[in-house]
Structure formats: structure tokens, C-alpha cells
Amino acid sequence: MAKPLRSHERRVTLDEVERVRNLNTAARGIRAAQAGLMTNVGLVLVKLIAGIVGNTYALIADAVESSVDIFSSLIVWGGLSIASRPADEHHPFGHGRAEALAEAAVSLMLLGAACGIAIVAVREIVTPHQVPAPFTLAVAGGVILVKEALFRKVFNVGAETGSTAVKADAWHHRSDAITSAAAFLGIGVALWGGPGWESADDYAALVAAAFIAANGLLVLRPTIHDLMDRTPEGPVVAQVAAAAAAVPGVRAVEKLKMRKLGMEYYVDIHVQADPLISLRDAHTISGKVKHAIREAVPVVSGASIHMEPFEEAVPNQADGTGPRAAREGGP
């Protein structure tokens, strides 16, 4: 018959499992960033050469945007590598903030690329130039297919791992696909219209810059929320509360605070128990609550459990409700 694990042994096992899970998650995100990096290096060269030889600024702007993608992939790679490091003496809550900082850097690079492309596009519009070469249309079409496929692959990895930085990198690929689509449309109009329509691809680059800026703002907003410890969205908070309330001996869940650090969540929860139980029993219940939370919601890496005495709700004169909402039942 197997010997049952003691409470501290069970806790160590959970920590080891969590550490392995975090390393595997970070590795998947890093591989996705590496795939994007290698693809973008090739696309930058193709688009830059085609844009210069084929006389189309839309493709040159697209190459600039892809070069920003290269730096963003490197930033995401570095951010995930740092975020996967375990907690230490100087960083007791781990290094998860590095993931959010990487995402913020990627967002700001998107906004910077959009501004740069818009400025040069306006300059090209007021400067007369030749109609783009026909082969540049095929180059733009091929880039659209490659970047859209890369966006879907990287975004799925970000969704599965819960990494906002990987998702930000994916949206970088989507913005690149949008830029290429605008270039495709602009080149097509310039070729179809002939003389007098030479600047169509420049207007396309200007429109693409607006889409890139919008994507940058879209990615930056949740990053700011994470850096400011906003309560996580979705069902994760309710799942944590339900797991804690289901532990035998817990009479009520009074307060629950959660924050996201990288790909992990930290919980601060106040639970109530019978006021007549011993301190040892209260400590045992708190350990069970922590174990239940981390077992029910694996993305929770740490939990602080505050034990408080349970008090029956006393109706007040104002609205007939008690000062605390307590769960019925319990020992």
C-alpha cells in the first residue's frame, strides 16, 4: 500500500509540476518566436529588393514593418526566457513581469513603425515617380499568404500557453499581412490605372500604417492592465472562488484578489472557518484550500490564504442583509 504524502511533500510535488509546466510553456513560446524570426529575415530581403527594383514604396514600407517584426521576435524571445526563471531571493514573485514588458515593447514598436511608414508615404505621395513593376504584385500576394499562415500558427501557441507576449508577436505578423494586402491593392490599382495612378501604392502604405497603429494600441491595452495588476478577465476568478469554497471546513469566501504575472496568476484570498477550531486545524484548512485552488486552476502559481472566523450574517436595519455574504452549510 502506497504511503500517503504529507502536506509539505504534496506542496513540493505541485511546485515541481508547475516549474516543468512553465518551462514547457516558455519553450513553446520561444519556438514560435524563433519561427517568426527566421521567416521575417527572408521576407525582409525579398520585399526590400522587390520594392527597390520594382519601384514601389508599399513593398519597401512592408519590408520596414517586417524588420520591426524581427526585433519584436527577439524581444519576445528574451522576455519569455526571463519570465520562465524561477523565483529567487530578490524576485520572490518570480520574473513574470518580463513577459508583459516584452509585450509593451512590441506594441510600442508597432506604433513607431506605423508613424515611420506614414511619414515616408506622405513624402512619396507628393514626389512624382514611376508605376510599379508588374512582378511586385506577385511578391505582395505571396507575402500575404505566408504572413497570414504564420499569424495563425503563432496566435494559437499564444492562446494555448496564455502568453500575451506571444499573442502580441502574432498580431505583429497579422499587421504585416495587412501591410502586404494594402501593398497588393495599391500596386494593382497603379498597374491598372497606368499614368496618373503612380501614387496608389503610396496611399496603400498610408492605409496600412493606420491598421498597424490600431493593432499596436489593441495589444498595448491589455499589457497596461497586466502591469497595473488588474483583475483577470474570464472565468478564472470564479473558478478559484469555487475551488476554495468547496473545501471541507470553509464556511465562506470573504475576499479574493488575483493578479497576472507573465503566464501565471497569484491569488490572495480570505476564507472563513468555524471560530472555535484550533490554530492547527485552521492551518490545515488553509493548506487544503491552497492545494484545491492550484489543482483546479493550474495557471495559479502562488496563493496566500488568510483564515478568518466565520460570523453568522446579522440583518441590518437599512436593507435587511448581513454585513457579509456567507455560504450556507459547512461543519
pLDDT (tens digit, 9 = 90+) per residue, 193-247?
Answer: 877 787 887 888 788 788 878 878 887 887 887 777 777 877 888 999 999 999 9
pLDDT (tens digit, 9 = 90+) per residue, 71-91?
Answer: 777 777 777 777 777 777 787
CB 290 within 8 A of CB 305: yes
Q: How confident is the model at residue 19 (pLDDT cuts 50, 70, 90)?
A: low
Record the cell numbers describing residue 33, joined without a space.
Answer: 518566436
pLDDT (tens digit, 9 = 90+) per residue, 300-325?
Answer: 878 889 999 998 754 443 444 444 44
CA–CA dist 163, 99 (Å, integer): 8
Q: Is the pLDDT of residue 292 over 50?
A: yes
CA–CA dist 80, 98 (Å, integer): 7
CB 84 within 8 A of CB 75: no
Pair type for strands 264-273 and 252-261: antiparallel
pLDDT (tens digit, 9 = 90+) per residue, 275-287?
Answer: 999 999 999 999 9
Three-class SS of 266-292: EEEEEEEECCCCCHHHHHHHHHHHHHH
Per-residue confidence (pLDDT) for residue 319, from 0 to 100:
44
In the chain, which residue ranges form alpha helices assigned H by DSSP? Answer: 7-54, 57-83, 97-125, 135-161, 164-193, 200-227, 236-245, 279-296
CB 204 within 8 A of CB 124: no
Per-residue confidence (pLDDT) for residue 67, from 0 to 100:
78
